[in-house]
Structure 1
Amino acid sequence: MPYPETYRKVLDADLIVRPLVPEDVPDVLDIERQGYSHPWSESVFLDCFKDNYRLWGACHGGKLTAYAVVAYMVDEAHLLNICVHPRARGEGVGRYLLRHVLATAAHEGMAQLLLEVRDSNHAAIALYQNEGFHEIGQRPGYYPSASGREDARVLMLALGQ
């Protein structure tokens, strides 16, 4: 499959993906607060450092530019949070990190990956669909929003097939 131009830029960049550690939480919170109107709290992130979670950071030049939080339940991976620093958006970092999450989950025996995405997040929906995800349902009022609640689309991708 040919890579989009933005993804080729990432492949040429000094980008690494590594496991996050609790000491990364301040940088994660900085990205989270710039990326979301209703960010997760520090305690929520710290609570994710458990055996059945995978926390990944994409770093460029040693600086954290994106992160992902994935929960493993039996043979299912659930992408709970993925966010790219506003200055790194549109450069393929999110796609690169998502592909790392998918490859790792498949390697670790997960059969599928599920996620929720805001109905209004058209860029993320397009990315997920481009990577092979398909919609399997909706969660009405799932996300808090400025006007109350917003629906989520539930997307799924089978792994290792």
Structure 2
Amino acid sequence: MTSALREMRWWDIDPVLELERDLFPEDAWSRGMFWSELAHSRGAEANRRYVVAETADGRIVGYAGLACTGELADVQTIAVARDRQGTGLGRLLLTELLRAATAFECAEVMLECRVDNIRAQKLYERFGFEAIGFRRGYYQPGNVDALVMRLTTASDSGSAAGPTSVQGTETHG
């Protein structure tokens, strides 16, 4: 049940949308949102990193995305298929996003997490993220609040990579 991470490409959008709709039925991203994000992940001006987790038989079982502006990175989304949650795949995806933040030379990484997604919050805390506030009614149409979390990367370590043993999760930013 291993999966490999690779760059998300346009042909991954349909299987990613299937996962998106299953995991986040009330506030799923649209096809256009993914197209827009991928457009910013290529070329000399790229400021995004999107990856998918793919099984040996070609099934997409997770995906994640990061956007960077200056020294600030923002985790846009992390999702893990229900049958792969608790396997460490969420940790693997987050580790890859933090590597990208380091490559983009970001000093801080921000994210929003549903206040009712305790599993995701615990994952982020294990990586050193700290809660810094709330966004009331952030997730629509369900009107669910978001917990805003921040990780300040250590300038002397050169890396934002996190721990080596954490359960996978699903979240959405």
The answer for the alignment partner of 1:22 in structure 2 is 10
Structure ranking higher on relative contact order (CA contacts 8 Å, 6+ apart)? 2
Q: Distance in 2 between matches of 1:35 and 1:18?
A: 21
Secondary structure in 2 matching 1:57: strand
1:95 to 54, 75, 91: 91
1:47 to 17, 22, 36: 36
> Percent of pairs identical after alignment?
32
Superposition RMSD in Å: 1.4
Secondary structure in 2 matching 1:31: helix
- Contact 1:102–1:159, Cα closer than 8 Å, also in 2: no
Give the structure with the larger helix fraction: 1
Q: Distance in 2 between matches of 1:47 and 1:116?
A: 20
- Runs of 5+ consecutive residues of structure 1 not aligned to the other structure: 1-12
| 2:55 maps to amino acid | H
**Runs of 4+ that moved beyond 3 A:** none
The answer for the alignment partner of 1:151 in structure 2 is 145
**1:72-107, CA deviations, whole angstroms, 9 ceiling, x for partnerless residues?**
111111011111111111111011110111122113
Q: Distance in 2 between matches of 1:47 and 1:100?
A: 21
TM-score normalised according to structure 2 size: 0.80
Q: Distance in 2 between matches of 1:56 and 1:76?
A: 19
Secondary structure in 2 matching 1:142: strand
| 2:145 maps to amino acid | D
Q: Distance in 1 between matches of 2:127 and 2:119?
A: 12
Count of residue correspondences: 147
- Runs of 5+ consecutive residues of structure 2 not aligned to the other structure: 41-45, 156-173
Deviation at 1:145, TM superposition (A): 4.7
Work out whether 1:119 is the aligned partner of 2:108: no
**1:101-138, CA deviations, whole angstroms, 9 ceiling, x for partnerless residues?**
11221133111110000111111111111121101111
The answer for the alignment partner of 1:82 in structure 2 is 78
Mapping of residues 122-141 of structure 1, within 5 Å: 122-141=118-137
- Contact 2:73–2:109, Cα closer than 8 Å, also in 1: yes
Q: Distance in 2 between matches of 1:63 and 1:110?
A: 32
Deviation at 1:160, TM superposition (A): 4.2
Secondary structure in 2 matching 1:68: strand
1:64 to 46, 60, 64: 60
